[in-house]
Structure 1
Amino acid sequence: MTLARHLGIDVGTSGLRVAALDAAGDCLWLEKANWPVPPTPDGHEQTPADWWVAFDDLMRRLGQQAHLAEVTSIAFAGTSGTVLTVTDDGAAEGPALMYDDPRGHGQIEALQQLDLDPDTQLSALARWRFLAEERGQSGRPVSQADWFVTRLTGQHVSDSNNALKWGFDAVAEQWPAALIERFGDRLPEVHRPGTAIAPVTPDLAQRWGLREGVIVAAGTTDSMAALWASGAAEEGDGVTSLGSTLALKLISTRPVSDAASGVYSHRFGDRFAVSGASNTGGRVLATFFDSEALAQLSESIDPAAPDTLGYWPLVGRGERFPVVAPDMRPRLTPRPADPALFLGGMLRGIARIEALGYRRFAALGGTTVRRVLSSGGGANNQVFARIRERALGVPVQTAEHTEAAVGAARLAALANGEGT
């Protein structure tokens, strides 16, 4: 049996997934573990101990089955913007504030008074300051992925993808002077994703059946791990995630940002991944059609037909990208009596918004899109793919892999010099 050489762990909101790659980079298997997610009245908090129990139990089981005996490297992806604080020995001081927790708005206003570029991303930094100022947590700040790196290695470090929403300058690859002056050594040392950090501690290696010296790599965010998994590698490659919303990423030689529309750039090797997300997407389709109806009606849609309805499909009020229109209402009229015509109009509307998104990246200074790889639930609809090709004017293909854990495993391979 071919044994796993690199592990990628995608830590999410209700569980984690582990992907194993062999020495050739092929995915051998995927495993998952879940944890309880009790409701929290004032926001979205989770207990890091629940993450650890699920991870530790899964690793022990895999180790007992001898699946980890030849592993040489590990990397983690986590939800972007999730924040917790830790003591010097890596113990969590309290619950984590998840990426969608609304608290920290007051802290953002104070942080914006610092001498920072107006496009600096501050949402995670603001959650940390909320924990420090409102709850008295004085420990070091870490992201979800950082915390696992700390637990496995004892090192307080981060990666440039997760650190972006802490105010890190991904272009200059350094903390802004204003943040260093304000927070000093409380800020972590930041590395590019896929950089070798340190080996797994001997006690954990023995516990999980790992050999000595397994390297833990600097990790990434969940969306960036999905980009690494997709197979996108060249300048001009776009990746569209067709999930509940419409999320775009573009590999560009030039970084671009626009805080007003939520456009920002992550490091992606020696290039940049320009990112933006519209409020349109699968959620609005699900308001009108179940999955069976979507599949059946799509078969009777002509992908070459023109977009005559001009829809802008939204669930509620407000758009953020490719236009900033907080008061925009859904545009879904006139509505044809034929449900296939109605669905076709919605699909063409989403495709038009996608095309406008990539054009917006180019207008801001990014690379022109040359092909688009698709992930998410909508990626399997071939009629929709042809509609999108017509709107985009470039080839549309399915991503190599859609599991973020596979992307994290590819970063783990980089730490051993075996990935590209």
Structure 2
Amino acid sequence: MWMGIDLGTQSVRAVLVGDDGALLGSGAAPLAGSRDGVRHEQSPDDWWEAVRTATGGALAAGPGRPVRALAVCGTSGTVLLADGAGRPLTPGLMYDDVRATAEAATARVQPTWALPKAMWLLKRRPSTVGVHLTHQPDFIVSRLVGRRTATDSSHALKTGYDLTADAWPQERLGELGLEPGLFPEVVRPGARLGEVGAEGAAATGIPAGTPVIAGMTDGCAAQIASGSLSVGSWNSVLGTTLVLKGVTAEPVHDSTGVVYNHRAPDGSWLPGGASGVGAGALTNAFPDADPAGLDALAHAYEPATALAYPLVSRGERFPFLAPDATALLLGEPGSDADHWAALLQGVGHTERLCLDYLDHLGAPQDGPLTFTGGGSRSAYWNQLRTDILGRTVRIPRHSEPALGMAVLAAYGAGAAPTLAEAAGRMIGLGHVLRPDPARTARFLAPYLRMVDELERRGWLPAPVATHARARALEVS
């Protein structure tokens, strides 16, 4: 029995999974943060309390067998400062907090990355003695183990860790005024970080001595849960925002930094990017909506009257970099259902543009495409996205990041010689969706209109827009 813990934006989720992939127990606890414009914070102590609740619920629902190992994933780029004992000295700056724009310019990375956020936090401290940079899962793992532990290279990526050299770039970090003692030791995902200690066991109910395995970011965790682990395969995670990740033999180079590369436990590369569009735009527009009811009505609006680029908050990171980009709604919806349809379709158009951008960079896409994330619970939206993309899509039986962490825990504890073999045993295919050519053709004109509008506003570079239009005409 393996445990996976996912520290999400709105909740913490814990699952217990058997060797055959059977879901044996699960638990969840809500999370609340503080948003104000470009600011987005959460309390690390709230993360810990939510973990206690979620793991307790999973264990209470489980069969009572021992947990053989666990792994934790968190949101990519979420960071805080902690003292030597692991106690938080600052709030957790979330993945989409973009206050560190000046620091990002100095570091030459995106403001959503953890590195500029750490620089921003350090500027506001009277002393940096005994201060340690801590990623979201590091904080939880240190509480479980009872001491400060190494971090994994997946979460360290956006803090500036050099995955090719497998080391912190000390000279560059020194030029930014960052001392070596600030940064944790780094290990590859799947490495053993320690064991649950007595205090962690008393707080969570997880038995003392349970191995804790180094995890990955939530997007990578969802990719493991999708089973998309062969070269050329891609997984599209639709939650509050949209994340696409694939598998390549070599890193995908992008001079703009829009696409970045994680390193898999087996040494292959996991390129991808995180967009600012997603299901969060539905919640923003319709906070009290009945999603299933509006999905049923949206079918009458294909395509919708209005054209949407449904950003959840200001700024876009993928498939283009535009810090000042805002949500678009071109045209006037005739009803709530028409508006809902525009948002659903807008996410699908953005997803298509993301894949076109990856093709522009030369990333292989000849493997299967999988949908995961909370958005994949909508059968209508799944088929709509499949039709907009015009390609076959797989839907796993279970697709949450916590499952991916359970698979990684099994691999890290030695239950399988490779991560792919662990995933093959523990992940099952739910069903396959195939596109309707007539619907694919129906959505071509709105897609091209969106590409034109994004280019006109100066957000989408002209070469990318030209490639997207050419590729759309090839498909049609």
Whether TM-score is above 0.5 comes out as yes
- Indicate conservation of the 8 Å contact 2:234/2:365, yes or no: no
* Secondary structure in structure 1 of the residue aligned to 2:157: helix
The residue number in structure 1 matching 2:143 is 151
1:111 corresponds in structure 2 to 107
**Equivalent position SS for 1:55:** helix
Q: Deviations over 1:14-39 (max 9, x none)?
A: 44211111233322121013456467
CA contact (8 A) 1:64 1:208 kept: no
Q: Which runs of 5+ in 1 are unaligned?
A: 113-118
Q: Which amino acid letter does the alignment assign opposite residue 163 of structure 1? A: A
Query: Which residue number corresponds to residue 412 of structure 2?
Result: 415
Supply the distance in 2 between the matched residues of 1:38 and 1:323 (Cα, whole angstroms): 27
What is the CA–CA distance in structure 2 between the aligned matches of 1:394 and 1:101, rounded to whole Å? 34
**Is structure 2 residue 287 aligned with structure 1 residue 297?**
no
Where in structure 2 are the equivalents of 1:330-369 lying within 5 Å?
A: 330=328, 332-333=330-331, 350-369=347-366
User: For residues 198-209 of structure 1, what are the structure 2 equivalents within 5 Å?
Assistant: 198-205=194-201
Alignment of 1:21-420 (within 5 A): 21-34=17-30, 37=33, 43-56=39-52, 59=55, 70-112=66-108, 123-136=113-126, 138=128, 139-153=131-145, 154-179=147-172, 181=174, 182-205=178-201, 210-211=206-207, 213-258=209-254, 260=256, 262-269=258-265, 270-282=267-279, 287=285, 291-300=291-300, 311=307, 313-314=309-310, 320-324=317-321, 330=328, 332-333=330-331, 350-382=347-379, 384-419=381-416, 420=419
Instruction: Give the deviation of 1:83 after TM superposition.
Output: 1.6
* Structure 1 residue 257, shift from structure 2 partner: 4.6
Structure number with the bigger relative contact order (C-alpha 8 A, sep ≥ 6) is 1
- CA shift in 2, pair 1:337/1:251, >3 Å: same
Pair 1:330–1:228, CA change in 2 (3 A): same
Distance apart, 1:197 and its partner CA: 1.5
Return closer, same or farther for 1:364/1:128 CA change in 2, 3 Å cut-off.
Answer: same
| Residue type at the aligned position of 1:367 | P
Of stretches 311-320 and 257-266 in structure 1, the one that deviates more from structure 2 is 311-320
Query: How large is the Cα RMSD of the aligned pairs?
Result: 3.7
Q: Is the 2:34–2:40 Cα contact (8 Å) retained in structure 1?
A: no
- CA drift of 1:141 comes to 0.7
TM-score when normalising by structure 2: 0.72
C-alpha displacement of 1:90: 2.0
Equivalent position SS for 1:32? strand
Report SS of the residue matched to 1:359. Answer: helix
- AA matched with 2:328: P
Distance 1:42 1:120 in 2: 14
Identity %: 32
Take 2:142 and 2:69, find their aligned partners in 1: how far apart are those partners? 15
Q: Distance in 2 between matches of 1:52 and 1:338?
A: 42
Give the secondary-structure state (helix, strand or coil) at the position aligned to 1:135: coil
Separation in 1 of the partners of 2:244 and 2:412? 27
Closer, same or farther in 2 for the Cα pair 1:267/1:46, shift >3 Å? Answer: same
Spell out, residue by residue over 1:294-334, the C-alpha distance to the aligned partner (whole angstroms, 9 max, x if none).
322355577xxxx798945346987553345656873644x
3-state DSSP of counterpart to 1:24: coil
2:74 and 2:236 map into 1 onto residues whose CA distance is 19
- Alpha-carbon distance between aligned partners in 1 of 2:202 and 2:135, rounded to the nearest angstrom: 26
Q: 1:116 is matched with which residue?
A: none
Range that drifts further, 377-386 or 134-143: 377-386
Change (3 A) 1:68 1:205: farther
Shift of 1:357: 1.5
Paired with 1:177 and 1:136, the residues of 2 have a C-alpha distance of 23
How many pairs were matched up? 405
Q: 1:169-220 deviations in whole A, cap 9, x for unaligned?
A: 2333222242464522321111122211212224434665555531111122
Which amino acid is the alignment partner of residue 231 of structure 2?
E
Structure 2 distance, partners of 1:148, 1:244, is 22
Distance across 1 between alignment mates of 2:333 and 2:105: 47
Whether the 8 Å contact between 2:219 and 2:243 is mirrored in structure 1 is no
Structure 2 residue identity aligned to 1:175: W
In 2, Cα distance between equivalents of 1:364 and 1:150: 39
Alignment of 1:10-25 (within 5 A): 10-25=6-21
Residue 391 of structure 2 aligns to a residue whose secondary structure is coil
The DSSP-based 3-state class of the residue aligned with 1:262 is: coil
**How far has the Cα of 1:120 moved from its partner?**
8.1
Instruction: State the Cα deviation string for residues 123-166 of structure 1 (Å, max 9, x = none).
Output: 31222222222123521111110112222232431111111110
CA separation of 1:309 and 1:121: change in aligned 2, threshold 3 A? same
Question: Following the alignment from structure 2 to structure 1, what is the Cα–Cα distance between the partners of residues 392 and 276?
Answer: 24
Q: How far did residue 367 of structure 1 move?
A: 1.7
Aligned equivalents of 2:214, 2:76: Cα separation in 1:
14
Task: Check conservation: 1:238, 1:369, Cα contact below 8 A.
Answer: no
SS at match of 1:165: helix
Partner letter of residue 14 of structure 2?
V
Question: 1:396: how far off?
Answer: 1.2
Q: State how far apart, in whole Å, the 1-side matches of 2:53 and 2:19 are.
A: 25
